[in-house]
């Protein structure tokens, strides 16, 4: 009995075509297709929202609002662009609105430590191969990077997150932000310059 070869990974164009096919079924009221789209994209959506808001506790709630908006807007969907571009345009609108609401009504939650608090949750590091000192430095660096990203203007912040964490093409970022590709590259250049300045202490260490 011969082993079957592993399945060939789907190419980006094939993934995009799958998303469009599912979304067109959603447009016709197919709830199973909608559930499939949520399953495919919820991790990336929740991760992006969490990084934009620097708040894991609210990320799932806002991500749920994103998918609710997808369902409610399905009748108006047209496959003129990648589904993820349409999805992240919805995400952009909701997250930007939330960031602006927070500026108008700032508050400090008693349940959440401040960004400069030593008790701020950090990404769990692999301590099996790193000394405690190295693990601590990695945690401090991740905190510093997130704080620096938090201080960027909202459009720069989203562009950096999409490019840094998801390697999103410039063209798609441009469509999501309603900018030209040169404008996105300029936006990212300014953002990276600001990040380097804010992280100079760590980068020079």
DSSP 19-55: HHHHHHHHHTT-HHHHHHHHHHHHHHHHHHHHHHHT-
Tokens at 191, concatenated:
């953002």
CA distance 29 to 86: 18
Topology given in CATH for the domain delimited by 11-107: Rna Polymerase Sigma Factor; Chain: A (1.10.1740)
Residues of the chain with CATH 1.10.1740.10: 11-107
Topology given in CATH for the domain delimited by 122-205: Arc Repressor Mutant, subunit A (1.10.10)
Q: Is the dihedral of CA 180, 162, 63, 194 positive or negative?
A: negative
**pLDDT tens, per residue, the chain with 205 residues:** 455 555 445 567 888 899 999 999 999 999 999 999 999 999 999 999 999 998 888 899 999 999 999 999 999 999 888 899 999 999 999 999 999 988 887 765 434 444 444 444 444 444 444 445 555 556 677 778 888 888 999 999 999 999 999 999 999 999 999 999 999 999 999 999 999 888 887 666 5
Residues of the chain with CATH 1.10.10.10: 122-205
Q: Which long-range contacts (CB under 8 A, 24 or more apart) does 181-190 make?
A: 184/159, 187/155, 187/156, 187/159, 188/156, 188/159, 188/160, 188/163, 190/156
pLDDT at 117: 44
């Amino acid at each position: 009995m011969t082993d079957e070869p592993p399945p060939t990974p789907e190419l980006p164009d094939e993934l995009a075509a799958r998303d469009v096919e599912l979304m067109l079924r959603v447009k016709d009221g197919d709830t199973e297709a909608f559930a499939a789209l949520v399953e495919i994209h919820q991790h990336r959506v929740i991760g992006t929202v969490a990084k934009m808001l620097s708040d894991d506790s609210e990320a799932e709630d806002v991500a749920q609002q994103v998918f609710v908006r997808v369902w409610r807007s399905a009748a108006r969907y047209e496959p003129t662009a990648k589904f993820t571009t349409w999805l992240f345009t919805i995400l952009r609108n909701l997250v930007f609105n939330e960031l602006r609401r927070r500026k108008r009504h700032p508050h400090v939650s008693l349940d959440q430590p401040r960004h400069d608090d030593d008790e701020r949750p950090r990404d769990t590091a692999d301590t099996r191969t790193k000394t405690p000192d190295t693990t601590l430095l990695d945690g401090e660096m991740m905190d510093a990077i997130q704080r620096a990203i938090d201080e960027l203007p909202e459009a720069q912040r989203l562009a950096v997150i999409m490019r840094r964490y998801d390697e999103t093409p410039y063209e798609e970022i441009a469509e999501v932000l309603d900018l030209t590709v040169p404008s996105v590259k300029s936006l990212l250049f300014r953002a990276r310059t600001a990040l380097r300045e804010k992280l100079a202490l760590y980068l020079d260490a």
